[in-house]
Amino acid sequence: MATMLEGRCQTQPRSSPSGREASLWSSGFGMKLEAVTPFLGKYRPFVGRCCQTCTPKSWESLFHRSITDLGFCNVILVKEENTRFRGWLVRRLCYFLWSLEQHIPPCQDVPQKIMESTGVQNLLSGRVPGGTGEGQVPDLVKKEVQRILGHIQAPPRPFLVRLFSWALLRFLNCLFLNVQLHKGQMKMVQKAAQAGLPLVLLSTHKTLLDGILLPFMLLSQGLGVLRVAWDSRACSPALRALLRKLGGLFLPPEASLSLDSSEGLLARAVVQAVIEQLLVSGQPLLIFLEEPPGALGPRLSALGQAWVGFVVQAVQVGIVPDALLVPVAVTYDLVPDAPCDIDHASAPLGLWTGALAVLRSLWSRWGCSHRICSRVHLAQPFSLQEYIVSARSCWGGRQTLEQLLQPIVLGQCTAVPDTEKEQEWTPITGPLLALKEEDQLLVRRLSCHVLSASVGSSAVMSTAIMATLLLFKHQKLLGEFSWLTEEILLRGFDVGFSGQLRSLLQHSLSLLRAHVALLRIRQGDLLVVPQPGPGLTHLAQLSAELLPVFLSEAVGACAVRGLLAGRVPPQGPWELQGILLLSQNELYRQILLLMHLLPQDLLLLKPCQSSYCYCQEVLDRLIQCGLLVAEESWATQSSCSSSCRPPPRKKGSSSVRTQSSPSVLSGPSET
């Protein structure tokens, strides 16, 4: 089925669900001009507040109501005002002068300080049981330490960093229309940096460009050179050497060896010393907690958790009194073009391959009026020490979700379990095995908590909304785009765009031009058809950005459908006759079973949130959408009345009472 983009003649007024979207008025010169009202001018949530349950003191600090009104800035827009000089020559050389003025602190005697660290000295002197220093010549061990240190990092070269920043600034202005950053979020991070504690940025991962864009952004905001923890499997040796000189960090392969391996002990001790030295010197650190798109396995990165484990250990042993963690997310209209399979370990990105990819991107954008937009999200920083104390205080007597649900699955218990005592369990691999069991659990819970915060603060881009509407065959894109945007904002999520509604649709369709077909059927009307094959796959990947927004409704709708499936005859029609009562306990039990079935990386539940609270949140969302009606006796009913009618959608897709899966998107009239 095709999708109709409503484009009537200019002599007809246009309307939207919230009122008149445009009107015609006379200019006094015999010309009819169209006045289009701006879009998203009333309400926009400020996202990114830290958890009030786990870190109440951090929630109160570093935030003021006034910062929510500071607006956005374009971090790649560098003009004469961003330099100390003025004049016509400065306006032509502002990129070069800006790169020269960036402050890059020198790194002196870093190898010597790492050699003198406590962990490395214990291994060199043989005071650690099974250490490499036992029975070996210390000089040989020192050479091994220097070799491992050379694999991890290299001192940043100020001249190379400035040259790379100048080239990157020109490249980003050719590739992006803008890179937006909320001034209030940046003000929170700058205020946290002034407290004298090290900053650790924990980010999602969309593309390899994230590791280049984020350091550039922090450098432009006066926070110094950001040390990025890269995945060595994604980069060739030549590219790793370049990234090390720009401030990159790489985990040595020996760090993943077994606990009784002398090489593994030495490698982990050197990495720990490197992290301790970075935190003591106050250099910001960037860690990716999410696997790149297309990678097989869980969403939560094992490599990212390993780096977080080193930071947690440094704080717990008292090397630094505390560290401030900043959840970060980067979203794009479209992920910039990259060579195939560069995100997989089987095909690392080479230096020349990356250079060719840059040239290919510049060539494809040459003369193109529609460029990509991006949003960088910095959530509220919170204290790692405060989180550790809060997390350890509520561990007693907890059980795994499997232990809680096993009696129900086996039919030994029919009551809803005490989900307040639920605790997750996942296998730990890699360098985290060297930590204690409770420290492994702490790192896992902290990583899940921060990743949930990063995803929750991510903005939904216009291409994701457009891809969702195209996949579900909505007929009127103008009205449905506005309605779906309002639904996203009402759920506390932000969007990464603003402006006139018609311009947004044109911008989105121009970026999706390679994956859709535009057919003009008559004057003023345009037919938008998704292209089969790779085009549908790409649209599905873009529409997945809306999954965290409507995830609670999706889980609840599946639970309701599972209960209704047992009450409808297998051969009979999927229609409810009248009102069907569902007990709250039945719904709770069905949601709990779904939570046990679905991956934790998909649900992204905060560890401090119990399953009982999540079940109640799911029911509240279903009641808010109009799919369920709550009775005073806490029984819920699913009605076939017209008041629960879902929003306009394609034929064959409807609410709980039909054969297709329940819809979680409710129109404006149902909210």
Q: Is 276 helix (H, G, I), strand (E, B) or coil?
A: helix
In degrees, rounded to 5, the angle at the alpha carbon of residue 349 between the alpha carbons of residues 278 and 452 is 55
Q: What does the radius of gyration of the chain's CA atoms come to, in whole angstroms?
A: 27
CB 76 within 8 A of CB 214: no
φ/ψ (deg, to 5) at 207: -160, 165
What pLDDT is recorded for position 415?
A: 56
* 8-state DSSP, 290: B
Measured CA to CA, the distance from residue 193 to residue 282 in angstroms comes to 9
CA distance 584 to 416: 10
**Cα–Cα distance measured from residue 339 to residue 353, given in angstroms and rounded to the nearest whole number:** 8
- pLDDT (0 to 100) of residue 380: 92
pLDDT of residue 364: 66
Question: What's the pLDDT at 34?
Answer: 41
Residue scoring higher pLDDT (403 or 76): 76
pLDDT confidence of residue 80: 77
* Res 249: pLDDT: 93
Structure tokens at 368: 């193109």
- What whole-number distance in Å separates Cα of residue 306 and Cα of residue 254? 13
For the stretch 584-597, pLDDT in tens is 888 888 888 888 78
Q: Which residue's entry shows tokens 């949003």?
A: 375
Q: Are 615 and 587 in contact (CB under 8 A)?
A: yes
CB distance 277 to 153 below 8 Å: no
- What are the distances in angstroms from CA 142 to CA 75, 129, 139, 257? 43, 18, 5, 20
Question: In the predicted model, what is the mean pLDDT of residues 181-193?
Answer: 90
Interval 571-596 mean pLDDT: 74
pLDDT at position 461, please?
92
User: What's the confidence (pLDDT) of residue 410?
Assistant: 66
pLDDT number for residue 346: 52
Residue-wise pLDDT tens digits, 241-295: 999 988 899 999 888 777 778 888 888 889 999 999 999 988 999 999 988 766 6
Locate tokens 């409808």: which residue? 568
Q: What is the largest CA-CA distance in the chain?
A: 96
Compute the average pLDDT of residues 205-210.
Answer: 88
Instruction: Read off the tokens for 336.
Output: 């910039």
302 pLDDT tier (thresholds 50, 70, 90): confident
Torsion 215-217-218-221 (CA) sign:
positive
Please provide the DSSP assignment of 546-570 as one string.
Answer: GTTTSHHHHHHHHHHHHHHHTTS-T
Instruction: Render pLDDT for 438-486 as a digit per residue (tens, 0 to 9).
Output: 888 889 889 999 999 999 999 999 999 999 998 887 667 777 888 888 8
Question: What does the DSSP assignment read for 59-86?
Answer: HHSS--GGGGGS-EEETT---GGGSS--
Partners of 363 in the β-ladder:
none
- Give the span between the Cα atoms of 454 and 13, in whole angstroms: 41
Percent of the chain with pLDDT over 70: 73
Q: Of 254, 290, 288, which Cα lies nearest the Cα of 430?
A: 254
Stretch 158-169: mean pLDDT: 88
Q: Are 330 and 212 in contact (CB under 8 A)?
A: no
Residue with tokens 């003191």: 57
Lookup: tokens for 123: 């291994």
Predicted pLDDT at 8? 35
Q: What gap in Å lies between CA 500 and CA 36, rounded to an integer?
A: 7
CB 339 within 8 A of CB 469: no
CA distance 347 to 110: 32
pLDDT at 135: 46
**Mean pLDDT of all residues in the chain?**
76
**Beta-strand pair 382-383/324-332:** antiparallel
Cβ density class 74-87: b for 16+ within 10 Å, e for less: ebbebebeebeeee
At 90, the pLDDT band (50, 70, 90 cuts) reads confident
Query: Which has more confidence, 523 or 597?
Result: 597
- Residue 325: pLDDT band (50, 70, 90) is very high
Q: What is the sign, positive or negative, of the torsion defined by CA atoms of 268, 269, 271, 275?
A: positive
Lowest pLDDT segment from 221-225, 303-307, 364-368: 364-368
Q: What is the pLDDT of residues 18-33, one digit of tens each?
A: 333 333 333 333 444 4
484 vs 122: which has the higher pLDDT: 484
What pLDDT is recorded for position 257?
Answer: 77
The answer on pLDDT for 387 being more than 70 is: yes
pLDDT at 218 over 60: yes
Beta strand ranges found along 318-389 (DSSP E): 324-332, 372-378, 382-383
Q: Are 336 and 361 in contact (CB under 8 A)?
A: yes
Residue 23 has a pLDDT of 37
- Residues paired with residue 574 on neighbouring β-strands, in sequence order: none
Confidence of residue 664 (pLDDT cuts 50, 70, 90): very low
Question: What average pLDDT does this structure show over 430-437?
Answer: 78
Distance CA 638, CA 644 (A): 9
Q: Cα 335 vs. chain centroid, distance in angstroms?
A: 13
What is the distance between the alpha carbons of residues 164 and 157, in angstroms, rounded to a whole number?
A: 10
Residue with tokens 């911008």: 507
DSSP notation for 157-213: -HHHHHHHHHHHHHHHHHHEEEEEEEHHHHHHHHHHHTTTPPEEEEE--S-TTHHHH
DSSP track, 10-56: TTS-EEETTEEEEEEEE-SSS-EEEEE-EES-S------PPPTTT-H
472 to each of 1, 530, 645, how far by Cα in Å?
A: 9, 11, 17
Is the pLDDT score of 409 beyond 60?
yes
* 8, containing H or E segment: none
Helix then strand then coil, in percent of the chain rounded to 5, is 45, 15, 40
The identity of residue 76, as a single letter, is I
Say how far apart CA 235 and CA 35 lie, in whole Å.
51
pLDDT at 81 over 50: yes
Cα distance between residue 96 and residue 100, in whole Å: 6
Structure tokens at 249: 């960090």
Nearest to 75 by CA among 216, 202, 189, 206: 216
Using 50, 70 and 90 to split pLDDT, how confident is the model at 369?
low
The total number of residues shown for the chain amounts to 671
SS3 of residue 530 by DSSP: strand
Residue 670's pLDDT band, with cuts at 50, 70 and 90, is very low
Q: State the pLDDT at residue 665.
A: 26
CA-CA distance, 516 to 535, in Å (whole number)? 7
> What percentage of the chain has pLDDT greater than the value 90?
18
Beta bridge partners of 629: 637
DSSP state of 155: -
In this predicted structure, the answer to whether residue 557 has a pLDDT above a threshold of 70 is yes
Q: Which of 307-311, 418-422, 431-435 has the highest mean pLDDT?
A: 307-311
Number of neighbours of residue 598 by Cβ within 10 angstroms:
14
Q: What is the pLDDT of residue 133?
A: 45
